[in-house]
Structure 1
Amino acid sequence: MTLDQIILFTLFFLVFVGLLWGRWRYDLVAFTALIIALLLQVVPTDMAFSGFGHPATIIVALVLVVSRGLTNSGAVDLITRSVIDQSRSIGMHITILGGIGGILSAFMNNVAALAMLMPVDIQAAQKSGRTPGQTLMPLSFATILGGLVTLIGTPPNIIIASIRETTLGEPFKMFDFAPVGIIAAIVGITYVATIGWRLIPEQSRKKNATSELAELEGYIADLVVADDSKAIGQKVKDLDTIAEENDCYVLGLARRGNRLPGRARNEEIKAGDHLIIEASPEAINALVGALGLKFQSQTASKKALSGDVILSEAVVTRESRLAGRTAMQSKLLARYGVSLLGISRQGKAIRTQVRKTELEPGDILLLLGTPESVEDVIGRMGFLPLADRQLPVTQYDRAWLAIGVFAAALIAASLGWIYLPVALAVVAIAFVFTDIVPLRELYDTIEWPVVVLLGSMIPLGAALETSGGTELIVNGLAAATNGMPAWVALTLLMAVTMTLSDVLNNTATAIVAAPVAIGLANQMGVNPDPFLMAVAIAASCAFLTPIGHKNNMLILGPGGYSFSDYWRMGLPLEIIIVAVSVPAILVFWPL
């Protein structure tokens, strides 16, 4: 090996160790490696920050903005509102919600899709008298599988397409991933809905971590009856059924600024009236969409909380700045005005000395503060919101506008009329100008650690290829499959990539594995596209550990899972994905 190859392999080894160790966040590890490579001159100076302007990096950032817009507009809620039915069996519930999650994940960030569907799943579990641990892991796996279907469904697909453009002159198109991705997703979701959920250990299925959070007092909301509201013409008492379905309680009615006597049960509701509702924040938000109401003002607690103070739940991730630290050490209250009220840890609630408890990945935090301060802390600390408790977020009247703009952009990009990053940029701009994504949320929406990771790893991956390091890996894989059919090498490549993705960031895995796939195909004298597709599928399918994919980490605490629970359902799923994907790849992408 040359000196440059030795340096680069050492850097990649240290990056992998750093990612596995988890002591420092992955973006810091990757950026440090890039700077060291520049100082040691194994990455040319003119390529130093080329990764930050790479199409893959831009697309990932824009997809996050678009995902926020689809969430804010209520477009997702239009799809999920009628999903909850306590009479359904677990298998049918997983099939329906998992199918919706898979479809959403094909067109928006899969972490955002899971974050939107988790409260729906937890609410369904509570109404059915079962625990979320029975269904959250299947839902997480379904949203991961849905991302396999399109170019924008998951970052590895975006990276694979960009590397193909750089190497072969043309990227994969929006739905090039669909033939294989749809088959893998359908088979995978069928497995988790019929067999997979039964493989979750009994003790984990009986845990109800979310119920052990502090009991939240109901909020009082003053909701305006819009001109096109479904409540118009009904009596207040007629709303009992739909209010109960959305876990709300109608306290009374106000008209022309005056509260009507009692609860006004027999009063007919008119446009412009004000319904007085008591419920949790997410329940009030759901009722707004169900009845076509509007918010009059911010909610206020029944207790001494001011109107602009909210309670919010968030999950500690492996990359969070608070992982391994306490709230007291970080001075959350003094610096940010946010108080940590409670912690739930894999089914075991922590109620004493909360501020002095060292936080762990997967912990559920109950935070108290203003909407701005809570949002700021969630972003700064690298938390994932378990449920959005800021009521005036969803804008149901703009749902179809958001869907229409997004669909038009996808069609234009798919037909080759507009370059995909430009199409997504148009959607993002439209969402900002129509206030679907408020300007103050725009930059907070982008997951900057992922952007830094991509911007840092892309030059390192290019340097490994130009130095001949990729060729050394290719030669090793070729030697291991010498004399065997090409499909054996394809299967081996998938297995190796999938194993790496289970313990590393899937984005980093794709950056390293894609050039290897092209080199292996070239050495065998076959079409490189099947090998790139194999990497795309394998890099996204991380089901053995909670650290392989953010979705798996997001459900760790709420589901009450342990680290070892994942491989029990995940290992058969990974084997199934390889078994169905290899033949599908060979059919749709012949060697």
Structure 2
Amino acid sequence: MATGRSLAQGGVERIGPMDITIDQIMVFAILAGTLVLFVWGRWRYDLVAVAALVVVFIAGLVPAEAVFLGFGHPAVITVAAVLVLSRGLLNAGVVDTLSSQMARVGPRPMAQVGTLTGIVILCSAFMNNVGALALLMPVAIWMSRQSGRPPSLLLMPLAFGSLLGGLLTLIGTPPNIIIALYRSEMGLPAFGMFDFLPVGLGAALIGLLFITLLGWRLTPRREGQRAPADLFEIEDYISEVIVPEGARVVGRTIFHLTAAIEKEDEVIVVGLIRGERHIPAPPWYEVIQAGDILMVEVSPEDLKALIDDEGLSLAECKGDCKAALGSDDIRLMEAIITPDSPLPGKTAISLHLRRNFGVNLLAIARRGRRLERRLGLTEFVIGDILLLQGNDEALQEVLKTFKCLPLAERGLRIGQSRKVFLALGIFVAAMALSALNLMPVQIAFTAAAVLMVLVDLVPLGDIYESIDWPVVVLLGAMFPLGHALENTGGAQLIAEKLLLLSAHLTPMATLAVIMVATMLLSNVINNAAAAVLMAPIAITLAKGMAVSVDPLLMTVAVGASCAFLTPVGHQSNAMVMAPGGYRFGDYWRLGLPLSVLVTVVAVPLILHFWPMAPT
């Protein structure tokens, strides 16, 4: 085994075609450990990537001056700028405008699946796919409830459609940006805005047809769900208690009542009836009087404690409890927790919604079902649907603070026409500058992002919130790691193995192997990381085969964006898991045939539009 290396050159001295060096062993060990931690998921992927970056420096595989160069890579800047632009498009109401006629689609599942998936493919081609999914997902859940079907039939096709849309353009998904800039490092012009379109459009159209005609039937149908209009039957969870003369709570505030049994936010006073007067969502400082009837949401155990300890008596909930809970100012709202929300991992008790925002949390639905467990101790997860009570101002503040999307009765937020056209104008101008090579893509989209801020499409306070910082950190940390794989000869060693295999395969079969390998990798780690790791291998393989690098890079781009087999391969897949009621093993039922179909369609298209011409 050869051990010679040249740190000054950042490479190795090759002794023979099959020799392996200490540097290569170290970089493979670091990569293997990184992949294991990515799959394990105990720590977030950006932390794992930064830790790996520190380790490759300690191992002497990356010099100190190059450790953080990845954070200034054009791909990282472009991804951040595209995320800000996506927020501007969302704020302007572009996606809302596209989806405003969804109610006209009708109740047929095939029409609903085809329309929703088609819209999300179109949106994901030009904006962050998770952002497009986040806005259309409440529409899908609303449609499923209106038609009396479980949301599981619509949400997985919607998530997979968001991934297919990323195949269409340079900015559709981070792997495309990464692959384009790897091409520029080869001394060739970077892939342009629509260079991905011939292959991506074919794959996306075939995927859309498959999902619409057959694929949605392969998604699990989670039965036993509530009727669409009755996901939250308030009458089933609200109790009335009467405050008699001499009760301990007389003269105390509602705050003291909830604090008295040390179960704050476990006993929620959602209404107060005093004679002919109904007070929805009474303030916590309201003083309780004898003869009051309190409408409380409380578990059976706490209800018994409340009655026994405070000297109250139980009454039946008479009349329409839902009507008594609301008024012109107080209403109920359902909201869904998005991936950007700070709520996951927190509980209702820790948030003090009533005290801090004047909003009551009445119920939580997960996987299409109302949770029966105690609200205050339930940790929120992405996709939970929350039933909130409060006035419009308080509810809007909660939605903004916790980055939730209103559901069902919300209607659709149609942006003003002027702002829609303004946002589209800025966005199209940036695409044109990039597509015509008048300005580098990272500069064109950064300038467009700045312009959206200046015209108030993206408020100053939302700039940094618009950026998915874990992905940005992941990219910045992974680029030096990818270069270490290349500089140590690790990519060349893998390429040699693939070269031996390709000697027995046709060009089409060789591309299929690369695509399947990239797909499998992207199903267990972030797709951007998969692109960073596979691109150097593809480049080295192209050099060994003495063919154009373009078809191999295109193959990696498509494979990295097609994580259809697991919920952990992409944020879109994870986002629909809870509201769709999916299990880990559900994804391959639709994802496996879709992956095979994309491979069968994309590989011939790549060879047609990007032939493997000898260099």
TM score, norm. by length of structure 2:
0.74
- Correspondence for 1:187: 206
1:71 equivalent among 90, 96, 112: 90
- Correspondence for 2:431: 410
1:478 equivalent among 476, 483, 499: 499
> What is the one-letter code of the residue matched to 2:347?
A
Q: Is the 8 A contact 2:231 2:369 kept in 1?
A: no
Deviations for 1:357-397, whole angstroms, at most 9, x for unmatched residues?
3555654456787756654545xxxxx75769799995554
Q: Which runs of 5+ in 2 are unaligned?
A: 1-19, 236-324
2:100 equivalent among 66, 74, 81: 81
* Gap change, CA 1:430 and 1:193, over 3 Å in 2: same
- Correspondence for 1:125: 144
Instruction: Indicate the larger mover: 354-363 or 415-424.
Output: 354-363
1:355 equivalent among 373, 376, 396: 376
* Gap change, CA 1:206 and 1:581, over 3 Å in 2: farther
Deviation at 1:454, TM superposition (A): 0.6
> What is the one-letter code of the residue matched to 1:64?
L
2:564 equivalent among 533, 543, 552: 543
2:35 equivalent among 6, 16, 35: 16
Residue 327 (str. 1) matches residue 370 (str. 2): no
- Correspondence for 1:580: 601
Deviations for 1:536-562, whole angstroms, at most 9, x for unmatched residues?
001100111111111111111222222
Map 1:368-407 → 2, pairs under 5 A = 375-378=400-403, 394-407=415-428
- Correspondence for 2:336: 313
- Correspondence for 1:439: 460
- Correspondence for 1:196: 215
- Correspondence for 1:139: 158
Counterparts of 1:393 and 1:31 in 2: how far apart (Å)? 41
Residue 151 (str. 1) matches residue 170 (str. 2): yes
Counterparts of 1:169 and 1:118 in 2: how far apart (Å)? 40
Map 1:186-335 → 2, pairs under 5 A = 186-202=205-221, 204=222, 207=225, 214=232, 302=326, 312-315=335-338, 325=345, 327=347, 331-333=350-352
Q: Which runs of 5+ in 1 are unaligned?
A: 218-300, 379-383
- Correspondence for 2:297: none
Counterparts of 1:77 and 1:321 in 2: how far apart (Å)? 24
> What is the one-letter code of the residue matched to 2:528?
T
* Gap change, CA 1:179 and 1:67, over 3 Å in 2: same
Q: Is the 8 A contact 1:315 1:365 kept in 2?
A: no
Q: Is the 8 A contact 1:132 1:208 kept in 2?
A: no
- Correspondence for 2:193: 174
Give the secondary structure class of the aligned counterpart of 2:103: coil
Q: Is the 8 A contact 2:146 2:228 kept in 1?
A: no
Deviation at 1:184, TM superposition (A): 0.1
* Gap change, CA 1:337 and 1:390, over 3 Å in 2: farther
RMSD (CA atoms): 3.1
Counterparts of 2:225 and 2:500 in 1: how far apart (Å)? 48
TM score, norm. by length of structure 1:
0.77
1:516 equivalent among 537, 546, 563: 537
* Gap change, CA 1:184 and 1:207, over 3 Å in 2: farther
Give the secondary structure class of the aligned counterpart of 1:42: coil
Q: Is the 8 A contact 1:59 1:424 kept in 2?
A: yes
Deviation at 1:87, TM superposition (A): 3.0
Give the secondary structure class of the aligned counterpart of 2:439: coil
Q: Is the 8 A contact 2:148 2:227 kept in 1?
A: no
Deviation at 1:161, TM superposition (A): 0.7
Residue 559 (str. 1) matches residue 580 (str. 2): yes
Give the secondary structure class of the aligned counterpart of 1:564: helix
> What is the one-letter code of the residue matched to 1:446?
I
Counterparts of 1:156 and 1:216 in 2: how far apart (Å)? 46
Deviation at 1:310, TM superposition (A): 8.1
Give the secondary structure class of the aligned counterpart of 2:569: coil
Q: Is the 8 A contact 2:144 2:228 kept in 1?
A: no
Counterparts of 2:586 and 2:411 in 1: how far apart (Å)? 33
Instruction: Indicate the larger mover: 119-128 or 205-214.
Output: 205-214
Deviation at 1:12, TM superposition (A): 1.3
> What is the one-letter code of the residue matched to 1:117?
L
- Correspondence for 1:115: 134
Instruction: Indicate the larger mover: 119-128 or 396-405.
Output: 119-128
Deviation at 1:401, TM superposition (A): 1.0
Instruction: Indicate the larger mover: 422-431 or 529-538.
Output: 422-431
Give the secondary structure class of the aligned counterpart of 1:135: helix
Instruction: Indicate the larger mover: 471-480 or 515-524.
Output: 471-480
Give the secondary structure class of the aligned counterpart of 1:107: coil
Deviations for 1:133-172, whole angstroms, at most 9, x for unmatched residues?
2112112111210110100000110111111111343211
Identical-pair percentage:
44
Deviation at 1:341, TM superposition (A): 5.3
Residue 424 (str. 1) matches residue 445 (str. 2): yes
Instruction: Indicate the larger mover: 391-400 or 171-180.
Output: 391-400
* Gap change, CA 1:106 and 1:206, over 3 Å in 2: farther
Counterparts of 1:337 and 1:474 in 2: how far apart (Å)? 58
Give the secondary structure class of the aligned counterpart of 1:344: strand
- Correspondence for 1:226: none
